[in-house]
């Protein structure tokens, strides 16, 4: 209920301002001026679910809609005829009252004086899938080892002064913060333990700038900064034997106590410049430069007790204490440039270049102690160490050129080339054989092509194709030797009937013998929209898609250090259809009924079926007031993971008020 009242509180001062203006007494039978100045719609009511069966955690992960009284939607506009303080204020809100995704946007402006906007979002993240990364499934343990339940809130405000003049300053503030809890895995040598996890973070960003609007160019200069913190803590206070179901060297590894936390704080200053120009009528130019210098300080502390084993020291120990401090300074520079040149009426040339590079000189101080189980005197396995300097360097560059030719009024051709290159270096993993540092490079050439066909304004055909070959890449799952194709068609069969079709293909291959990776995805889709007489009485919209996905990659088993193969196959079908029935001649308020729904069905490595039929109705009950009703059914089923299925009914009813 507190959230429901927020929109009212925001709009109350605005209504009071309007009411404070002198008002003449309305004539009989007329609408008061204040009511004329406030327009819009408000949807409110209640939602409830019924007969939830199956896994409630998976239901919350997939659906997560709340029950109770709701403000479903509000779209209000307030105008001030006197225009003394504002010309117009608009407020738009969605899903208030315990919903997983709540929004509110307020805009206020006065012509040639100011424009103020604020945008608020409140998002609930919940995830608890028992089968995800759960080694204990074979023993019948269905509790997920990696879950989170948190709220993330974001607010962004901006004030533009003199928005339509040659020089316009602006100021902005944004905050992104979240908190919650969950379950994650504490990893020790040879064993893993699922423990409670607590999360809390916040980032504040301040910025200000000035825009210059001239006849042949536009320039924006911005200066800003941010302050952030990120806190995470793992706690456990009872006997825990972890995922290792057997003994090791005749002993059972266990965790009896854990307090692990890390605290990250920092700030960032950034400068940005954006310029657009048209020096001649045939040439458009665009450029942007961004420089930032983030600073980050990290403190990591861990105190754990139990029965552990160190592979490095090859000993059992009963307690461990770790302290790690790090500082990072990350100069970051990025820039982009683009140009469009039109030497002929039917010929356009596009050129773009971008670069992104940053450098992290890292300093780490580490302190680590081990205690044997059978002795009270600690044996120091790793004491104070000198700072470990592990700088990280990253550069990424891309250059792309395209030529577009209108060969005929019905044919447009496009061709181009893209070159991507860069290099990176950083500290190598513990088991790496390259030494302290590890480096990588990427070099990729891609050919681009496309065409568009238009026939009698009824049929449009288009296709885009690109193929690339790279001898080096940063990551084994990155695009390397790939072909990408997309094709689309739109046909206006009748004035009331439109049909569309799309096809996409992606083939990717990393040909390395040891790290070979194959990926292939195809997608076919059809859409149909039928709206006779512009949908006055009836309209139908539907779509259907068929897709296949194939993935094949080698991976390393950490416990055995041997290669294994991961194969994933999926064939999926997705469909949705909605039928709208209207009765404009029956009632002036235009009652409406909507029927339809969507479904998903897949076969392969993880067969899944998901159904969601929907029925909606809108009926007038009073002038400018409609009664709303909605029913939805959610049904999820998995062949190999039946314990993750669920089904439930959702009902919603309420009123739509028109102002």
Q: DSSP for 246-262?
A: S-BTTB--EEEEEEEEE
Q: What is the pLDDT of residue 452?
A: 96
Q: What is the pLDDT of residue 375?
A: 39
The better pLDDT of the pair 94, 387 is held by 94
Q: What average pLDDT does this structure show over 147-174? A: 96
Q: How many domains does the chain have?
A: 1
Q: What is the pLDDT of residue 223?
A: 97
φ, ψ dihedrals at 56, nearest 5°: -70, -30
φ, ψ dihedrals at 602, nearest 5°: -135, 155
For 478, the enclosing helix (H) or strand (E) is none
pLDDT at 572 exceeding the cut of 60: yes
In degrees, to the nearest 5, what angle opens at C-alpha 323 toward C-alphas 322 and 328?
135
Least reliable range by pLDDT among 47-61, 483-497, 551-565 = 551-565
| Dihedral sign of CA atoms 456, 457, 458, 462 in order | positive
| C-alpha to C-alpha distance for 407 and 454, rounded to whole angstroms | 12
Nearest to 386 by CA among 359, 364, 418: 364
CB atoms within 10 A of CB 357: 17
- 9: confidence class by pLDDT, cuts 50, 70, 90: very low
Locus of tokens 């899944």: 608
In degrees, to the nearest 5, what angle opens at C-alpha 579 toward C-alphas 576 and 582?
155
Token pair listed for 354:
């971008």
Q: What is the pLDDT of residue 516?
A: 83
Q: Taking a C-beta distance cutoff of 8 angstroms, is the pair 153, 200 a contact?
A: no
- 436: confidence class by pLDDT, cuts 50, 70, 90: low
Residue 274 in any domain: the answer is: no
Rg (CA), the chain: 31
* One-letter-per-residue 3-state SS of 97-126: CCCCEEEEEEEEEECCCEEEEEEEEEEEEE
Q: What is the pLDDT of residue 245?
A: 81
Per-residue model confidence as pLDDT tens digits over 205-225: 999 999 999 988 999 999 999
pLDDT at 21 exceeding the cut of 60: no
Return mean pLDDT, the chain: 87
CB atoms within 10 A of CB 557: 9
Per-residue model confidence as pLDDT tens digits over 50-100: 889 999 999 999 998 989 999 999 999 999 998 889 999 999 999 999 899
Token pair listed for 190:
């040879």
| C-alpha to C-alpha distance for 32 and 42, rounded to whole angstroms | 20
Q: What is the pLDDT of residue 405?
A: 96
- SS3 percent helix, strand, coil of the chain, rounded to 5, is 5, 70, 25
- 586: confidence class by pLDDT, cuts 50, 70, 90: low
3-class DSSP state of 644? helix
| C-alpha to C-alpha distance for 610 and 602, rounded to whole angstroms | 9
Token pair listed for 492:
């206006």
Q: Taking a C-beta distance cutoff of 8 angstroms, is the pair 596, 604 a contact?
A: no
Residue 528 in any domain: the answer is: yes
> Exposed (0-12), middle (13-18) or buried (19+): which is 457, by Cβ within 10 Å?
exposed
Nearest to 617 by CA among 590, 591, 656: 591
Nearest to 623 by CA among 581, 659, 654, 584: 659
Residue 415 in any domain: the answer is: no
Residue 477 in any domain: the answer is: yes
Nearest to 411 by CA among 441, 455, 370: 455
- 15: confidence class by pLDDT, cuts 50, 70, 90: very low
The better pLDDT of the pair 372, 187 is held by 187
Q: What is the pLDDT of residue 478?
A: 85
Nearest to 446 by CA among 469, 422, 464, 423: 469
Per-residue model confidence as pLDDT tens digits over 613-626: 999 999 988 888 99
Q: Taking a C-beta distance cutoff of 8 angstroms, is the pair 624, 655 a contact?
A: no
Per-residue model confidence as pLDDT tens digits over 499-531: 999 999 999 998 876 678 999 999 999 999 999
Q: What average pLDDT does this structure show over 357-372? A: 64
pLDDT at 574 exceeding the cut of 70: yes
Q: What average pLDDT does this structure show over 571-597? A: 87
pLDDT at 426 exceeding the cut of 90: no
| C-alpha to C-alpha distance for 309 and 247, rounded to whole angstroms | 12
Q: What is the pLDDT of residue 393?
A: 86
Q: What is the pLDDT of residue 616?
A: 96
The better pLDDT of the pair 333, 589 is held by 333
| C-alpha to C-alpha distance for 600 and 520, rounded to whole angstroms | 20
For residue 118, what are the β-bridge partners? 106, 157
Nearest to 203 by CA among 99, 81, 294, 88: 294
Residue 264 in any domain: the answer is: no
Dihedral angle of Cα 354, 356, 357, 360, to the nearest 10 degrees = 170
| C-alpha to C-alpha distance for 288 and 302, rounded to whole angstroms | 44
Residue 244 in any domain: the answer is: no
Exposure of 22 in the CB half-sphere (CA atoms within 13 A):
1
pLDDT at 589 exceeding the cut of 70: no
Q: Taking a C-beta distance cutoff of 8 angstroms, is the pair 218, 179 a contact?
A: no
Q: What is the pLDDT of residue 376?
A: 41
| C-alpha to C-alpha distance for 348 and 413, rounded to whole angstroms | 11
Least reliable range by pLDDT among 13-27, 186-200, 304-318, 468-482 = 13-27
- Residue 63, sorted as left (phi over 0), alpha (psi -120 to 50) or beta, turns out to be alpha
| C-alpha to C-alpha distance for 560 and 372, rounded to whole angstroms | 26
Token pair listed for 421:
């290159």
Q: What is the pLDDT of residue 30?
A: 45
Residue 511 in any domain: the answer is: yes
Nearest to 632 by CA among 47, 83, 25, 179: 47
pLDDT at 313 exceeding the cut of 90: no
Q: What is the pLDDT of residue 588?
A: 61
List the domain range (segments joined by +) for residue 515: 473-582
For residue 35, what are the β-bridge partners? none
Nearest to 202 by CA among 228, 223, 221, 173: 228
Residue by residue, DSSP assigns 266-316 as EEEEEEEEEEEEEEETTEEEEEEEEEE--EEEEEEEEEEEEEEEETTTTEE
- 420: confidence class by pLDDT, cuts 50, 70, 90: very high
Nearest to 570 by CA among 606, 615, 614: 606
Token pair listed for 26:
């309305």
Q: What average pLDDT does this structure show over 391-396? A: 86
| C-alpha to C-alpha distance for 215 and 527, rounded to whole angstroms | 44
Q: What is the pLDDT of residue 472?
A: 76
pLDDT at 416 exceeding the cut of 90: yes
Q: What is the pLDDT of residue 285?
A: 97
Q: What is the pLDDT of residue 474?
A: 77
Residue 488 in any domain: the answer is: yes
| C-alpha to C-alpha distance for 351 and 282, rounded to whole angstroms | 14
φ, ψ dihedrals at 423, nearest 5°: -150, 160
For residue 508, what are the β-bridge partners? 482, 519
| C-alpha to C-alpha distance for 607 and 620, rounded to whole angstroms | 44
Least reliable range by pLDDT among 245-259, 355-369, 439-453 = 355-369
Q: Taking a C-beta distance cutoff of 8 angstroms, is the pair 339, 348 a contact?
A: no
> For strand 332-344 and strand 562-582, is the pairing parallel, antiparallel, or unpaired?
unpaired
């Amino acid at each position: 209920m507190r959230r429901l009242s927020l929109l009212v509180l925001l709009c109350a001062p605005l209504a009071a301002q309007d009411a404070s203006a002198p008002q003449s007494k309305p004539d009989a039978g007329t609408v008061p001026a204040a009511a004329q100045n406030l327009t819009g719609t408000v949807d409110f009511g209640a939602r409830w679910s019924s007969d939830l069966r199956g896994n409630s955690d998976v239901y919350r992960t997939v659906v997560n809609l709340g029950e109770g009284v709701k403000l479903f939607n509000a779209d209000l506009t307030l105008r001030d005829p006197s225009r003394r303080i504002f010309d117009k204020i608009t407020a738009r809100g969605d899903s208030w009252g315990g919903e997983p995704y709540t929004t509110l946007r307020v805009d206020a402006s006065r012509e040639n004086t100011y424009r103020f906007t604020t945008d608020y979002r409140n998002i609930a993240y919940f995830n608890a899938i028992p089968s995800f990364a759960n080694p204990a499934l074979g023993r019948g343990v269905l509790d997920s080892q990696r879950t989170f339940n948190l709220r993330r809130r974001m607010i962004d405000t901006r004030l533009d002064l003199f928005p339509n003049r040659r020089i316009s300053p602006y100021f902005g503030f944004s905050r992104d913060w979240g908190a919650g809890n969950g379950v994650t895995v504490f990893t020790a040598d040879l064993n893993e333990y699922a423990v409670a996890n607590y999360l809390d973070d916040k980032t504040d960003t301040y910025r200000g700038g000035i825009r210059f609007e001239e006849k042949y160019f536009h320039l924006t200069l911005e200066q800003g900064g941010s302050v952030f913190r990120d806190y995470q803590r793992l706690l456990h206070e009872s006997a825990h034997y972890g995922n290792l179901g057997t003994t090791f060297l005749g002993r059972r590894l266990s965790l009896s106590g854990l307090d692990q936390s890390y605290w990250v704080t920092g700030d960032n200053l950034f400068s940005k410049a954006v310029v657009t120009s048209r020096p001649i009528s045939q040439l458009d130019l665009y450029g942007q430069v961004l420089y930032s210098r983030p600073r980050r300080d990290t403190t990591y502390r861990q105190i754990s007790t139990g029965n552990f084993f160190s592979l490095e020291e090859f000993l059992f120990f009963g307690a461990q204490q770790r302290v790690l401090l790090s500082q990072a300074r990350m100069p970051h520079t990025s820039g982009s440039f683009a140009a469009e040149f039109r030497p002929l009426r039917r010929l356009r040339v596009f050129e773009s270049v971008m670069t992104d590079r940053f450098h992290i000189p890292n300093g780490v101080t580490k302190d680590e102690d081990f205690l044997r189980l059978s002795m009270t005197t600690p044996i120091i396995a790793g004491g104070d160490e000198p700072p470990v300097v592990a700088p990280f360097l990253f550069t990424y560059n891309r250059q792309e050129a395209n030529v577009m030719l209108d060969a005929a009024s019905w044919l447009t051709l496009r061709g181009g080339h893209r070159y991507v290159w860069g290099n990176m270096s950083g500290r190598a993993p513990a088991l790496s054989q390259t030494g302290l540092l590890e480096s990588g490079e990427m070099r990729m050439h891609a050919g681009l092509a496309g065409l568009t066909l238009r026939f009698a304004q009824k049929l449009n055909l288009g296709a885009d194709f690109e193929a690339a070959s790279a001898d080096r890449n940063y990551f084994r799952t990155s695009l390397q030797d790939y072909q990408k194709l997309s094709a689309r068609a739109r046909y206006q069969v009748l004035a009331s009937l439109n049909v569309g079709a799309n096809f996409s293909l992606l083939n990717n291959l990393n040909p390395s013998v040891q790290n070979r990776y194959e990926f292939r995805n195809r997608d076919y889709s059809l859409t149909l929209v039928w709206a006779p007489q512009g949908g006055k009485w009836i309209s139908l919209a539907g779509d259907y898609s068929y897709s296949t996905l194939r993935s094949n990659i080698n991976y390393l088993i950490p416990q055995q250090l041997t290669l294994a193969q991961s194969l994933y196959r999926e064939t999926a079908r997705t469909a949705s259809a909605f039928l709208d029935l209207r009765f404009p001649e029956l009632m002036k308020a235009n009652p409406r009924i909507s029927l339809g729904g969507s479904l998903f069905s897949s076969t392969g490595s993880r067969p899944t079926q998901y159904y969601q039929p929907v029925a909606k109705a809108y009926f007038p009950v009073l002038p400018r007031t409609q009664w709303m009703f909605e029913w939805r059914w959610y049904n999820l089923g998995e062949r190999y993971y039946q314990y993750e299925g669920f089904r439930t009914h959702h009902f919603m009813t309420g009123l739509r008020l028109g102002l």
